[in-house]
Amino acid sequence: MGVKLFLIRHGQPEWNSQGRYQGEQDTILTDTGIKQARLARKYLSRVNFANFYSSPKKRALQTANIITDGLKIQINIRENLKELNFGKWEGLTFENINTSYRQDYQNWLSDPYNNAPTGGESFKVLLERAGREINKIVDENPEGSNVGVVTHGGVIIALLV
């Protein structure tokens, strides 16, 4: 039966609404992101969570706190649930990156598993990091339990692929 993981992406943060890469930068939720987190809480309201985990980033913690509001459950913060490190691209728009780091960007777009953003980490490195953490989380929880994990889009994509 195993452990049932609920992989939840944080709500919309400021930089997503501006088309900027965030990575390890610590941004907060927009009003839309707060509404998304509240909708996630409503959607997940019937799930009996044994444990809840979150990336340490503000946008993920805000989302986790909104989802668990009113529940008697502690949020376990895990460093390895952080987003992909986008290196020198963090804070830049797609257009800025394609102009300033064109070859690196094109390489990354063609094979993000093996190619890293300039000064950042590849999806291969992210998958190894996040995969180890997810395995620890599964091992920490009893068979048949429901576990919430608030993290980032890149982490979820890496884990699902």
Which residues have CB under 8 Å from 94's CB, separation 6+?
A: 19, 21
Q: Which of 10, 90, 133, 152 is the catalytic position? A: 10
What sign does the dihedral 19-22-23-27 (CA atoms) show?
negative
Closest CA to 85 of 108, 118, 113: 118
Residue of 83, 90, 121, 133 with catalytic role: 83
**Residue 68 to residue 158: CA distance in whole angstroms:** 25
The answer to whether 123 touches 54, Cβ cutoff 8 Å, is: no
Q: Has 152 been annotated as catalytic? A: no
> Which tokens belong to 28?
């907060």
Strands 146-151 and 4-9 come out as: parallel
For 31-63, the DSSP string reads HHHHHHHHHHHHHTTT--EEEEEE-SSHHHHHH
Q: Is 10 a catalytic residue?
A: yes
User: Which residues participate in catalysis according to the annotation?
Assistant: 10, 83
